[in-house]
Amino acid sequence: MPSYDYPFNERIRTLLRVEDLFAKVLYNLEAGHEYHHHSALLTFLQVLDVVDRSELKLDLLQELERQKTAMSLLVGNPAIAANTLKEILNDIDAASDALRVENTKLGQPLRANEWLMSIKQRAGIPGGVCEFDVPSYHYWLSLGEARRKEDLQSWLSPLLPMHNAIVIILHILRGSGITSKLIAPCGTYQQMLGGVKPAQMLKIDIADDLACFPEVSANKYAINIRFNVLDFMQKPQKYDEDVNFSLTLCNL
């Protein structure tokens, strides 16, 4: 079942971007071919760009501490699975400790790697890492799968604590809301938002056999969902049939 996340603020938007980029990096790292490792490295350099534009480490530590405090209050609650709660609290502690070990800015050791930064600079140019532009990079690609994996894992290592923290926080966020089964008449749905604690993200799930996808505009007052179809030749067009979908409003 296709699932779509829509963040309501820049903080959650950043977490989702890093999650998406890391998923692509890890997939291409394991795939093994030099083209996969090329994609893994260039995507990893995008992670550095996203991390560099935000105080992500401090935000993650504060959020982990906040979640630890909130979940500690649930210890002893008979409605909560004690083992599951203990595992989550242990994961939060481990993620926080790993983030605190490195006392520099996220990714700082990697920015000190002049060769990696030269690749990053060239990667911003279309076709900028061709063999004649950066022969050292193509020499590295030719060193074999084992060596490339070793290097990539070494470069990824300083950012793994950040990734683990993001995985924990987004897992808690996605599990925080109540899911409602709804209908979008003629492909359109609107809902006013209220409550003391505004939503930070919404999640939409639709059936596999529906040939449409949602586009969302939202703020703290209302959400508007429009389901569109794609014909791959022009911009998306409105889907004119009723759409059954599931909506989850999530908040940490």
- Measured CA to CA, the distance from residue 171 to residue 200 in angstroms comes to 14
Q: Which residue has the tokens 């014909």?
A: 231
pLDDT tens, position by position, 119-138: 999 988 988 899 899 999 99
3-state secondary structure of 91: helix
3-state secondary structure of 232: coil
- What's the confidence (pLDDT) of residue 54? 65
pTM value > 0.75: yes
pLDDT tens, position by position, 15-52: 999 999 999 999 999 998 999 999 999 999 999 988 87
Q: Are strands 179-184 and 213-218 parallel, antiparallel or unpaired?
A: unpaired
- Measured CA to CA, the distance from residue 112 to residue 136 in angstroms comes to 18
3-state secondary structure of 241: coil
3-state secondary structure of 5: strand
- What's the confidence (pLDDT) of residue 196? 65
DSSP tag of 158? G
Q: Compute the average pLDDT of residues 203-230.
A: 91
3-state secondary structure of 122: helix
- Measured CA to CA, the distance from residue 47 to residue 218 in angstroms comes to 26
Strand order in the sheet with 201-206: 3-7, 201-206, 243-250, 179-184
For residue 122, what are the CA distances in angstroms to 18, 20, 33, 42, 129?
Answer: 21, 23, 22, 10, 6
Compute the mean pLDDT over every residue in the chain, rounded to the nearest whole number. 90
Contacts of 15 (CB under 8 A, 6+ apart): 7, 166, 169, 170
pLDDT tens, position by position, 171-214: 999 988 889 999 999 999 999 887 667 788 999 999 998 999 99
Q: Which domains are assigned to the chain? A: 8-171 (1.10.3900.10), 177-250 (2.60.440.10)
For residue 172, what are the CA distances in angstroms to 91, 193, 234?
Answer: 12, 21, 38
| More confident call, 11 vs 79 | 11
What percentage of the chain carries pLDDT values higher than 90?
A: 64
- What's the confidence (pLDDT) of residue 65? 94
What percentage of the chain carries pLDDT values higher than 70?
A: 98
- What's the confidence (pLDDT) of residue 205? 95
Q: Contact, 109 vs 158, CB < 8 A? A: yes
> Closest by alpha carbon to 227, among 250, 218, 236?
236
Does residue 114 carry a pLDDT above 90? Answer: yes
Based on its alpha-carbon atoms, the radius of gyration of the chain, rounded to whole angstroms, reads 21
Q: Which residue has the tokens 């963040």?
A: 7
- Measured CA to CA, the distance from residue 16 to residue 38 in angstroms comes to 23
| More confident call, 236 vs 36 | 36
